[in-house]
Structure 1
Amino acid sequence: MSGQNPPTIIGWRERIGLPDLGLAGIPAKIDTGARTSSLHAEVLDEFRRDRQRFVRFAVNWGGARHVCEAVHVDIRGITSSMGEQQQRFVIKTPLSIGKYTFRAEISLADRSQMQFPMLIGRTALRRRFVVDSGHSWLQSDENADKGPGRR
């Protein structure tokens, strides 16, 4: 790997942003066991604009309901954490972790029963980050979380 920068170390959970969707400070679980990243969202509508497919969805974050639109890349069969095959909308949008921003594919899922509204899978992490499972919030704002598990 000569000539390349070493991967950045991130914790098992980080605060992330989705700048094109107007969302910031979302607590996300970093999950190398999951291939695809996912966001808790309620799909409202799919439509076409200028011959491109879009999806409109709602994200409840920061005490407010945010209605977002993004180019709809695909509908894929994704296996949930419970082992169930689900058909999910997949979008591609910039994702920020710390000072790094890159485009990532994100499936829209019902994560209401999960502790974290966002999950970052290994495809988004590949060749960018190494996960230190013993630490949290390594690339997040200092005020991210002062609660249990903060190291």
Structure 2
Amino acid sequence: MASQLNELKIIGRLERVHFPEWNLTNINAKVDTGAYTSSLHCHHIQPFDRDGERYVKFNLLDPSHDTYIDDKFELPICRTKTVKSSNGSTEERYVVETRVELFGETIKAKFSLTDRSEMRYPVLLGRKLLNGRFLVDVSQKYISQEIEEKKI
């Protein structure tokens, strides 16, 4: 057990992540061990069918964000998920799979798409992505950025 813990990277309560498939870098992410699935801030989320498969098209982030790109992205829907927010309301979300980079490691992960414009951070990293890879030190933030800067 102790050797497994030694192999896990320490992550702070806030980190910067990259989405290489979408050419997005240094996106602020909140680490949330209370959330099972990670989520991503999107708008204009629209499901559609293509060749008998369910897809979703969406814009990442929103025009007020520094790295906003006014492109529509289209991905297959992995599943839908009913999510209960911290204020008690429920929402049906589409879940997609993409790659996220953190601590120089590229991870294939599932993200639910939602409007996080009222939230401070556009990305939320949940337990499914964190489990077996990271230990969370809530007293720290942006540890991955410090490590990347030391490499330069």
TM-score (norm 1): 0.84
1:70 to 2:75 alignment: yes
Specify which structure has the higher proportion of helix. 2
Question: 1:21–1:69: 8 Å Cα contact kept in structure 2?
Answer: no
How many residues end up aligned between the 2 structures? Answer: 142
Specify which structure has the higher proportion of strand. 1
User: Once superposed, what is the RMSD of the aligned Cα atoms?
Assistant: 2.0
1:111 to 2:116 alignment: yes
* Equivalent residue number for residue 13 of structure 2: 12
Match of 2:101 among 96, 103, 108: 96
Bigger drift between 76-85 and 108-117 goes to: 76-85
* Equivalent residue number for residue 90 of structure 2: 85
Which 5+ residue runs of structure 1 have no aligned equivalent?
143-151
3-state DSSP of counterpart to 1:123: helix
Structure 1 stretches (4+) deviating beyond 3 angstroms? 1-5, 48-52
TM-score (norm 2): 0.83
Q: 1:104-149: per-residue Cα shift (whole Å, max 9, x none)?
A: 110011111110011001111000011111111111254xxxxxxx
User: Structure 1 counterpart of 2:8, which letter?
Assistant: P
Aligned-residue offset at 1:21: 2.6
